[in-house]
Structure 1
Amino acid sequence: MLIGRDTERRAIERLVAGARVGSSGVLLITGEPGIGKTALVTEAATLAAGLRVLRARGTEAEREIPFGGLLQLLRPALGELDRIPAPQRDALAAALALGTPEPPARPSGLAGGEKGRGSRQAVAGAGSAQERFVVGAATLSLVCRFAEEAPVAILVDDAQLLDLPSAEALLFAARRLVADPIVLVIAARAGEVHPLAQADLPQLQLSGVGLEAAQELVAGLPVDLVASLHRTVAGNPLALLELARDPEQLRRVPPGVPVPVPALLAEAFAARANKLSEAARTALLVASVDDGELGVVARACADLGVDFAVFAEGERASLVALKEGRVEFRHPLVRSAIYSNAEPAQRRAVHLAVANAVQDDDRRAWHLSEATLGTDDAVAAALEVAGNHAVDRGAHAVAATAFERAARLTGTTGARALRLVAAGEAAWFAGSPERADELLREALALEPPRQARTHADELRGDIALKCGSPARARDILFAATETADPEAAVGLLADVVNACFRLGDAAGALQAADELSTLLQEIERPGTRVIGLLACGVAKVLSGRGGTEEIRQALALAPSVALERDRRRQVWMMLAPMFLRESGTGRALIEEAMRERRDQVAVGVLPAVLFLLARDDATTDRWADAAASYDEGIRLSRETGQTTELALNLAGLAWLSAQQGRAAECRALAAEAMGICSERQIHLGLAWSLFALGDLALGQGDPQAALPQYERLAEVLTSLGVLDPDLSPVPELVEVYLRLGRADDASAVARAFAVRAGEKGQPWALARAARALGLVEDDEQKFLEALEWHERTLDVFQAARTRLVYGAWLRRARRRVDAREQLRRAVAAFDQLGAPGWADQAAAELKATGETARRREPSTADDLTPQERQIARLLSEGHSIRSVAARLFLSPKTVEYHLRKVYTKLGIHSRPELAEILEKGGPART
Structure 2
Amino acid sequence: MLVGRQAEQQAIDQVLAAARLGTSGVLAITGEAGVGKTALLDAAMGGATEMRVLRATGIESEREIPFAMLLQLLRPALGALEGIPTAQADALATALALPVPDAAAIPGGRDRFTIGAAALSLICRFAEDGPVAVVVDDLHLADTPSVDALLFAARRLAADPVVVLVGVRSPEGDELVAGVQVLRVSGLDLEAARLLIEQETGRAESDDRVRLLHRATAGNPLALLELGSDRDVVESLETELPLRVPPALVAAFGRRLERVDAECRAALLVAAVCGGGIRLITDACEVLGIDVSRLGEAEDGGLVALTQGRVEFRHPLVRSAVYSGASVQARRAAHRAAADALPAADVDRRAWHLSEAVWYADEHVAALLAQAGDHAVARAAYSVAAGAFERSASLTPEAHERRTRLLRAADAAWTAGDGSRALTLLDQRSAVGSSPVEDGDVREIELRASIAARSGSLREALELLVAAADRAPSADAEALALADAVHATYYLGDARTAAALADRIDALQPRIAGTRPRALGLMAIGMARTLAGSGGAAEIRAAVPLLEADPELRHDPRRLSWLLLAPLFLRDATGGGHLRGLVEEVRGAAGVGALPAVLFHVARDQSTTGASWARAEANYAEAIRLATETGQETELAMSLAGAAWLDSRAGRPAACRAHAAEARALCAARDIYVGEAWVSHAVGDLELSLGRTKAAVDHLSELVALLARLSLDDVDLSPAPELVDGLLRVNRRSDAAAAASDYHERAARKGQPWALARADRARGLVAEVDFDSLFHSALASHEATLDRFETARTRLAFGSRLRRAGRRVDARTQLREALDTFDELGAALWRDHAATELRATGEHVRAAGASVFEALTPQELQVGLQLAEGRTTREAAAALFLSPKTIEYHLRKVYTKLGIGSRSELADLLAPTDRTSAKTPAHRDAGQ
Q: State whether TM-score is above 0.5.
A: yes
Deviation at residue 329 of structure 1 after TM alignment: 0.6
Partner of 1:662: 652
Q: Distance in 2 between matches of 1:678 and 1:256?
A: 55
**Residue 218 of structure 1: aligned partner:** 197
Q: Which residue of 2 aligns with 1:55?
A: 55
With over 3 angstroms needed to count, the CA separation of the structure-2 counterparts of 1:340 and 1:25, relative to structure 1, is same
1:39 is aligned to 39
1 CA distance for matches of 2:774 and 2:731?
21
Counterpart-to-counterpart distance in 2, 1:31 and 1:594? 46
Cα distance in 2 for partners of 1:536, 1:840 equals 42
**Match for residue 512 of structure 2?**
523
Deviations 1:635-676 (A, max 9, x none): 111111211111111111112222333222222211211222
Moved more, 43-52 or 644-653: 43-52
Is the contact made by 2:558 and 2:594 (CA closer than 8 Å) also made in structure 1?
no
Q: Is the 8 A contact 1:824 1:853 kept in 2?
A: no
Question: What residue in structure 1 maps to residue 923 of structure 2?
Answer: none
Mark the CA change 1:195 to 1:498 in structure 2 (over 3 Å): closer, same or farther.
farther
- Range 347-356 or range 560-569, more displaced: 560-569
Which residue type is aligned with residue 261 of structure 1?
A: V
Write the distance in 2 (CA, Å) between the matches of 1:615 and 1:822. Answer: 27
Residue in 1 that maps onto 2:817: 825
In the other structure, the counterpart of 2:920 is none
List per-residue Cα deviations over 1:494-537 (Å, max 9, x = no partner): 21122112111212222221121111122233343222212221
Q: 1:196 aligns with which of 155, 164, 176?
A: 176
**541, 544, 548: which one aligns with 1:555:** 544
Separation in 1, partners of 2:58, 2:822? 56
- C-alpha deviation, 1:390, in angstroms: 1.0
User: 2:829 aligns to what?
Assistant: 837
Supply the RMSD in Å over aligned alpha carbons: 2.2
Distance 1:8 1:518, change over 3 A: same
Say which is worse superposed, 724-733 or 178-187, in terms of deviation: 724-733
Q: Check if 1:395 corresponds to 2:374.
A: no
Whether the 8 Å contact between 1:444 and 1:456 is mirrored in structure 2 is no
Query: What amino acid sits opposite 2:485 in the alignment?
Result: V
- Distance 1:7-1:475 versus aligned 2 partners, 3 A rule: same
CA contact (8 A) 2:479 2:517 kept: yes
Corresponding residue to 2:448 among 447, 457, 460? 460
TM alignment of 1:558-573, pairs within 5 A: 558-560=547-549, 562-565=551-554, 566-567=556-557, 570-573=560-563
Unaligned runs of 5+ in 2: 918-928
The answer to whether the Cα contact below 8 Å between 1:530 and 1:554 also exists between their aligned partners in 2 is: yes
> How high is the TM-score relative to the length of structure 2?
0.94
CA shift for structure 1 position 781: 2.2
Q: In the alignment, residue 462 of structure 2 is paired with which amino acid?
A: R
Identify which of 758, 766, 787 aligns with 1:795: 787
Q: Say whether the 8 Å CA contact 1:767–1:786 is kept in structure 2.
A: yes
Describe the superposition over 1:178-230 as per-residue Cα deviations: whole angstroms up to 9, x where unpaired: 11111111111111157633x31111111122223222211022233223322
Structure 1 position 921, deviation (Å): 9.8
Q: Distance in 1 between matches of 2:367 and 2:912?
A: 63
Letter in structure 2 aligned against 1:695: D
Matched residue, 1:539: 528
Distance across 2 between alignment mates of 1:36 and 1:832: 60
Q: Distance in 2 between matches of 1:475 and 1:541?
A: 22
In the other structure, the counterpart of 2:144 is: 164
The SS at the match of 1:156 is: strand
**1:384 matched to which residue of 2?**
370
- Offset at residue 416 of structure 1 (A): 0.4
Matched, 1:285 2:264: no
Hey, what's the Cα distance between the residues in 2 that align with 1:412 and 1:164?
30
TM-fit CA distance, 1:78: 0.9
Q: Deviations over 1:577-624 (max 9, x none)?
A: 0001112432342343233121x2521111111101111111134111
Amino acid at match of 2:452: A
- Deviation per residue, 1:96-128 (Å, 9 max, x gap): 11132343289xxxxxxxxxxxxxxxxxxxx98
Q: Does 1:481 pair with 2:460?
A: no
User: 1:502 matched to which residue of 2?
Assistant: 491
Q: Paired residue for 1:608? A: 597
* Corresponding residue for residue 188 of structure 2: 209
**Which whole-Å CA distance do the structure 2 matches of 1:902 and 1:289 have between them?**
54
Tell me by how many angstroms 1:344 deviates.
2.6
Q: Which residue of 2 aligns with 1:84?
A: 84
Of 851, 855, 861, which residue of structure 1 is paired with 2:843? 851
Q: Does 1:870 align with 2:862?
A: yes
> 2:359 matched to 1:367?
no
* 2:864–2:891 Cα contact (<8 Å) kept: yes
Distance 2:731 2:239 in 1: 80
Counterparts of 1:540 and 1:142, CA distance in 2: 51
Q: Which residue of 1 aligns with 2:572?
A: 582
1:438 is matched with which residue?
Answer: 424
Contact 1:637 1:646 in 2 (8 A): yes
Moved more, 326-335 or 59-68: 326-335
Query: Could you tell me which of 222, 228, 235 is aligned with 1:244?
Result: 228
The equivalent position to 1:775 in structure 2, one of 749, 762, 765, is 765
Moved over 6 A (4+): none
Write out per-residue CA displacement over residues 847-886 of structure 1, whole angstroms, 9 at most, x where no aligned residue.
Answer: 3333343343113343222222222222222221111112
Structure 1 pair 634–681 and aligned structure 2 pair: CA distance change class (3 A): same
The DSSP-based 3-state class of the residue aligned with 1:604 is: coil
Q: Is the 8 A contact 2:110 2:378 kept in 1?
A: no
TM-score by length of 1: 0.94
Alpha-carbon displacement from aligned partner over 1:412-432 (angstroms, at most 9, x marks no partner) = 110001001111111111111
Per chain length, whose mean CA-contact separation is higher, i.e. which structure has more relative contact order (CA < 8 Å, sep 6+)? Answer: 1
For 2:702, the equivalent position in structure 1 comes to 712
* Secondary structure in structure 1 of the residue aligned to 2:26: strand
What amino acid is the match of 2:471? Answer: T
| 1:116 aligned partner | none
Query: 8 Å contact 1:534–1:550 — kept in the other structure?
Result: yes
User: Secondary structure of 2:104's partner?
Assistant: coil
- Asked if the contact 2:476–2:513 (Cα under 8 Å) also holds between the matched residues in 1, the reply is no
Q: Distance in 2 between matches of 1:883 and 1:370?
A: 45
Distance change in 2, residues 1:44/1:601 (3 Å): farther
Higher mean Cα deviation, 878-887 or 241-250? 241-250
Query: Residue 883 of structure 2 aligns to which amino acid in structure 1?
Result: S
| Matches of 1:41 and 1:32, distance apart in 2 | 15
Change (3 A) 1:468 1:319: farther
1:919: Cα distance to partner? 4.7
The count of residues paired between Structure 1 and Structure 2 equals 903
- How many angstroms does 1:57 deviate by? 0.5
User: What is the CA–CA distance in structure 1 between the aligned matches of 2:915 and 2:542, rounded to whole Å?
Assistant: 31
1:633 paired to 2:629: no
Q: Does 1:71 align with 2:84?
A: no
**Aligned residue runs from structure 1 range 143-162, under 5 A:** 143-162=123-142
Return the offset for 1:129: 9.4
Instruction: Provide the secondary structure at the position in 1 that maps to 2:845.
Output: coil
Query: Aligned-pair distance for 1:272?
Result: 2.2
Measure the CA separation in 1 of the matches of 2:3 and 2:847.
66
Equivalent position SS for 1:567: coil
Contact 1:139 1:173 in 2 (8 A): yes
Q: Secondary structure at the match of 1:570?
A: coil
CA contact (8 A) 1:861 1:918 kept: no
Counterpart for residue 251 of structure 2: 267
CA distance in 2 between partners of 1:378 and 1:526 (Å):
40
Distance 1:355 1:785, change over 3 A: same
The aligned amino acid for 1:375 is A
Q: Check conservation: 2:110, 2:379, Cα contact below 8 A.
A: no
User: Are residue 882 (structure 1) and residue 874 (structure 2) matched?
Assistant: yes
- Please report how far the alpha carbon of residue 569 of structure 1 lies from its aligned counterpart in structure 2 after TM superposition: 5.6
Q: 2:27 touches 2:165 (CA, 8 Å); kept in 1?
A: yes
Do the aligned residues in 1 keep the contact of 2:553 with 2:560 (CA within 8 Å)? no
Q: What residue identity is the alignment partner of 1:303?
A: V
SS in 1 for 2:27: strand
2:282 corresponds in structure 1 to 298
Q: CA separation in 1, counterparts of 2:471 and 2:374?
A: 28
Distance (whole Å) between structure 2 residues aligned to residue 279 and residue 74 of structure 1:
37
Residue 319 in structure 1 maps to residue 303 in structure 2: yes
**Secondary structure of 1:218's partner?**
helix
Residue identity matched to 1:664: A
